C-alpha cells in the first residue's frame, strides 16, 4: 500500500459553543468536546485509510481550561502512525474568544481507530511517512503509546512490550 504523509489526513473542525453545549456555569461539557474530538479523529482516520473506521481507544484526556459559551472551538487532527489495521490520531483543541484572533491550547489527546470492512473485520491501512520534525517525533513516540494502551486493554503482556524496560 502506498505510504501517506500525516498532511494527507490533516483535519480541522470548528464549532461555536452554544448554551445547549454547556453546563450550568456556561462552560463546555466535557462529553460534548469528546464527541467533537471523536468526529475530527474519525475524519482524519478516514482520510488516511479511505475506509470505514471505528474508535478502538481514547487515551487519557485532561481538560486544562474551560471553554465558554460564545467562544470558538477548533480541533486539529492527523494520523501520526499506522500499524497494521489501526491508526493513532493526534488531536489538539484550541479555544478562541471572539473578536480576538488569539487561540489558546485547551487540550491534546490521542485516539486510536481501526479500519474495518463491511463485515466489521479489521483491514490493513497504508503506512504513514512522517515529514516534519514534529511528525517524526510523534511517529517515533507512538510505538510506546501503542504498547501502553494495549497493556491497559489487557491485549499485550508487559513482558512482550519492546519499549518498556522491565527488570
Ligand atoms: C476495534 C475493533 C474493530 C478491534 O477488533 P478486534 O477483533 O479486537 O481485532 P484485533 O484484536 O485483531 O485488533 C485489530 C487492531 O485493533 C487494535 N486494537 C484493538 N483493541 C485496541 C485497544 N483497546 N487500543 C488500541 N488498539 C486496539 C489492535 O492493536 C489491532 O491493531 P493492528 O492491526 O494495527 O495491530 C473491535 O474491538 C470493535 O469493533 N470494537 C468496537 C468499536 C466501536 O464500536 N467503537 C465506537 C465506540 S462504541
Q: How far is the CA of 68 from the centre of ligand 1 (A)?
A: 35
pLDDT digits (tens, 9 = 90+) for 70-122: 999 999 999 999 999 999 999 999 999 999 989 999 999 999 999 999 999 99
Distance 121 CA to ligand 1 centre (A): 9
Ligand 1, atom nearest to 87 Cα:
34
Which of 118, 120, 121, 95 has the alpha carbon at shortest distance from 107?
A: 95
As a whole number of angstroms, the distance between CA 73 and CA 67 comes to 8
Q: Which atom of ligand 1 is nearest to the CA of 152?
A: 23
More confident call, 20 vs 64:
20
Q: Which atom of ligand 1 is nearest to the CA of 112?
A: 25
pLDDT computed for residue 165 by the predictor: 72
Ligand 1 geometric centre to CA of 12 (Å): 25
Query: What is the percent of the chain with per-residue pLDDT over 70, rounded to a whole number?
Result: 99
How remote is the C-alpha of 77 from its chain's centroid?
Answer: 6
State the cell numbers at 75: 480541533
Q: Give, as one character, the DSSP assignment of residue 78.
A: E
Q: Whose CA is closest to atom 31 on ligand 1? A: 86
CB proximity list for 155: less than 8 A, separation 6 or greater = none
Query: CATH topology for 6-129?
Result: Thiol Ester Dehydrase; Chain A (3.10.129)
CA distance 127 to 80: 10
- Rounded to the nearest angstrom, the distance between the alpha carbon of 158 and the centre of ligand 1 is 18
Q: Domain extents for the chain?
A: 6-129
The answer to whether residue 167 scores a pLDDT higher than 70 is no
The residue contributing the CA closest to ligand 1 atom 35 is 84
pLDDT over threshold 80, residue 9: yes
CA of 85 to the centre of ligand 1 (A): 8
| Residue to mutate (ligand 1; options 49, 114, 121, 128; most atoms within 8 A of CB) | 114
Q: Span 131-154, mean pLDDT?
A: 97
Predicted confidence (pLDDT) at residue 11 exceeds the cutoff of 70: yes
Give residue 166's pLDDT.
62
**pLDDT (mean) for 128-152:** 97
Per-residue pLDDT tens digits for 69-80: 999 999 999 999
Amino acid at each position: 500500500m502506498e505510504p501517506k504523509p500525516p498532511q494527507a489526513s490533516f483535519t480541522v473542525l470548528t464549532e461555536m459553543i452554544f448554551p445547549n453545549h454547556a453546563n450550568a456555569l456556561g462552560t463546555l461539557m466535557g462529553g460534548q468536546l469528546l464527541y467533537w474530538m471523536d468526529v475530527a479523529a474519525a475524519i482524519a482516520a478516514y482520510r488516511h485509510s479511505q475506509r470505514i473506521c471505528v474508535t478502538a481507544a481514547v487515551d487519557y484526556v485532561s481538560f486544562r481550561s474551560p471553554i465558554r459559551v460564545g467562544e470558538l472551538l477548533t480541533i486539529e487532527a492527523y494520523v501520526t502512525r499506522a500499524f497494521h489495521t489501526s491508526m493513532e490520531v493526534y488531536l489538539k483543541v484550541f479555544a478562541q474568544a471572539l473578536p480576538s484572533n488569539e487561540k489558546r491550547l485547551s487540550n491534546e489527546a490521542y485516539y486510536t481507530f481501526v479500519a474495518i470492512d463491511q463485515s466489521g473485520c479489521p483491514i490493513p491501512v497504508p503506512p504513514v511517512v512522517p515529514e516534519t520534525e514534529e511528525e517524526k517525533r510523534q511517529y517515533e513516540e507512538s510505538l510506546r503509546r501503542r504498547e501502553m494502551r494495549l497493556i491497559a486493554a489487557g491485549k499485550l503482556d508487559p513482558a512482550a512490550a519492546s519499549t518498556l524496560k522491565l527488570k
